[in-house]
Structure 1
């Protein structure tokens, strides 16, 4: 069973800042990803603070983030997350459908990135598929299987 990292009850304003994220339970088979994330935009710097706060329980304080350059809009090489400066490492050779958050003791989570413009029903289905306990499906197949253009 997947872990949804969102409060049970939130105000509308809080919902706008909560990451739309589902993660596999700790210890579940990893496969290609540890869960899925549906950001609200392609502005990585704006999206990252809430994501980092949500994955901190799994990896500790986030110290690095790697991503595919063509998936996101222009981003600086470093971002402030609380009182820490966190390097953003953009590459073209990484999976364009994932983002990796690396914690202080080198633990990491690799998340499927559902494009922001994805209709809610398809996005939630992709998040569930990525966070499924036994899910070892590759990211393009998860997206395609839920009708999300990759």
Structure 2
């Protein structure tokens, strides 16, 4: 999984990255928690490769599974879903994921999650003329601590 995610960040290694990510998805014998985390982490690599639909599905599954164990991991995957929707140029889907993230944030106190939220707010600035995006951005911004400025 880590190899696939790393290769996904380097141009020209798409085939190798996809193969590594597919191998990771084929791993068996994991605990339900580890399986959910693996699926979510593979999804991050798939998003970088432009496989947005599969990434969104895996992130949705990971966030749902993580809800029973870790509000932190759930919020991380919800944030990744929003980022994937931005990469896919899907403002309506990004809004949906941003609202889910807004509902999860009060249960998490994490600089990493706050950094991801700030990144989502910044990345969606290009759609601020869309009222639903503007509302979702404002909802997220209202939950960020002051030390996390965002666009």
- The two structures have a TM-score, normalised by structure 2, of 0.29
Q: Looking at both structures, which has the greater relative contact order when contacts are Cα pairs under 8 Å and sequence separation is at least 6?
A: 1
Greater fraction strand:
1
Greater fraction helix:
2
- The two structures have a TM-score, normalised by structure 1, of 0.29
